[in-house]
Amino acid sequence: MTTTALDTFPRLLLHHASARGERPAMREKHLGIWQSWNWSQAAEQVTAIAAGLAALGFQRGDHLAIIGDNRPRLYWAMCAAQCLGGVAVPLYQDAIAQEMVFVLHDADVKFAVAEDQEQVDKLRDIKAQCPLLQHIFYDDERGLRHYTDVLSLDALQQQGREFARQRPDYVAAEIAKGGAADIAVMLYTSGTTGNPKGVCQTHAAFIGSARGDVAFDGFTADDQILSYLPMAWVGDHLFSYAEALVAGFTVNCPESSETVMIDMREIGPTYYFAPPRVFENLLTQVSIRMEDAGWLKRKWYKYFMQVARRCGAEIMDGKPVALGDRWRYRLGNLLIFGPLRNTLGMSRIRVAYTGGAAIGPDLYRFYRSIGINLKQLYGQTETCAYVSKHANGDVKLDTVGKPLPGVEIKIAHNGEVLVRSPGILKEFRKRPEATAEAIDADGFFRTGDAGFFDSDGHLKIIDRAKDVGKLNDGTLFAPQFIENKLKFFSHIKEAVAFGDARAMTCVMANIDMQAVGDWAERRGIAYSGYTDLAGRPEVVKLIGECVERVNADLAQDSALAGSQIKRFLILHKELDADDGELTRTRKVRRGFIAEKYAVLIDALYAGKTSCHIETQVKFEDGRAGMVSADVQISEARIFSAGELAKAA
Share of the chain above pLDDT 90, in %: 78
Residues 365, 287, single domain; the answer is yes
The answer to whether 352 touches 375, Cβ cutoff 8 Å, is yes
Question: What is the predicted pLDDT for the residue at 467?
Answer: 85
Residues 246 and 293 in one domain: no
Among candidate residues 228, 257, 286, the one where a domain is terminated: 257
Is there a contact between 327 and 315 (Cβ–Cβ < 8 Å)?
A: no
pLDDT at 1 over 50: no
The answer to the question of residue 412 being in a domain is no
Q: Are residues 57 and 179 in the same domain?
A: yes
CB of 89 closer than 8 Å to CB of 112: no
The residue ranking higher by pLDDT, 361 or 253, is 253
| Mean pLDDT computed over every residue of the chain | 92
Mean pLDDT (whole number) for 469-486? 90
pLDDT band at 648 (very low <50, low <70, confident <90, very high): low
Q: How does residue 642 score in pLDDT terms, banded at 50, 70 and 90?
A: low
Q: What are the pLDDT digits (tens) for 627-638?
A: 999 999 999 999
- Taking only the tens place, the pLDDT of each residue in 534-563 is 999 999 999 999 999 999 989 988 778 999
pLDDT-derived band of residue 361, with 50, 70 and 90 as boundaries? confident
Eight-state DSSP code of residue 390: P
Per the domain annotation, does 227 fall within a domain? yes
**Each residue of 569-587: pLDDT tens digit?**
999 999 998 888 988 777 8
Judge if 495 and 626 occupy the same domain.
yes
Spatial contact of 387 and 419, defined as CB atoms under 8 Å apart? yes
Per-residue pLDDT at 480: 86
Structural domain contains residue 128: yes
Q: pLDDT, tens digit, for every residue of 278-326?
A: 888 888 888 888 888 888 888 999 999 999 999 999 999 889 999 999 9
Kind and range of the H or E run holding 90? strand 87-91
**Is the pLDDT assigned to residue 2 strictly greater than 50?**
no
The range of the structural domain enclosing residue 158 comes to 3-257
User: E strands within 365-491?
Assistant: 374-378, 388-389, 402-403, 408-411, 416-420, 427-428, 445-453, 459-464, 469-470, 476-477
Burial class (CB in 10 A: 0-12, 13-18, 19+), 475: middle
Judge whether 429 lies within some domain. Answer: no
pLDDT digits (tens, 9 = 90+) for 320-332: 999 999 999 999 9
Q: Burial letters for 145-166: b for 16+ Cβ neighbours within 10 Å, e otherwise?
A: eebeebbbbeebbebbeebbee
In this structure, the answer to whether residues 55 and 200 fall within a common structural domain is yes
Same domain, 30 and 57: yes
Q: Considering the domain boundaries, does residue 632 fall inside one?
A: yes
Q: What is the mean pLDDT of residues 34-63?
A: 98
pLDDT of residue 3: 41
Q: Among 59-68, 160-169, 454-463, which is the least confidently predicted range? A: 454-463
Looking at the structure, do residues 239 and 300 belong to the same domain, yes or no? Answer: no
Residue 436 domain flag: no
Query: How would residue 91 be classed by pLDDT, with cut points 50, 70 and 90?
Result: very high
CA distance 169 to 172: 5
Q: What is the mean pLDDT of residues 217-233?
A: 95
Please tell me whether residues 298 and 175 are part of one structural domain. no
Which CATH number is 605's domain given? 3.30.300.30
Which spans in 377-527 are helix H?
432-438, 479-487, 513-522
- 406 found inside a domain: no
Q: Band the pLDDT of 159: cuts 50, 70, 90.
A: very high
Residues 223 and 299 in one domain: no
Pair 117, 189 in one domain: yes
Whole-number Å distance between alpha carbons of 255 and 32: 7
> In this predicted model, which residue has the larger pLDDT, 465 or 648?
465
Of the candidate ranges 243-257, 272-286, 388-402, 604-618, the one whose mean pLDDT is the lowest:
272-286
The model's pTM is 0.83
Mean pLDDT over 57-66 rounds to 97
pLDDT score, position 129: 94
- Reply yes or no on whether the pLDDT at 350 is more than 90: yes
Do 83 and 175 meet the contact criterion of CB atoms below 8 Å apart?
A: yes
372: which strand partners? none
**Domain count within the chain:** 3
Question: Do 251 and 279 reside in the same domain of the chain?
Answer: no
Based on the fold, state whether residues 360 and 335 are members of the same structural domain. Answer: yes
In-domain check, residue 432: no
- Portion of the chain with pLDDT greater than 70, in percent: 96
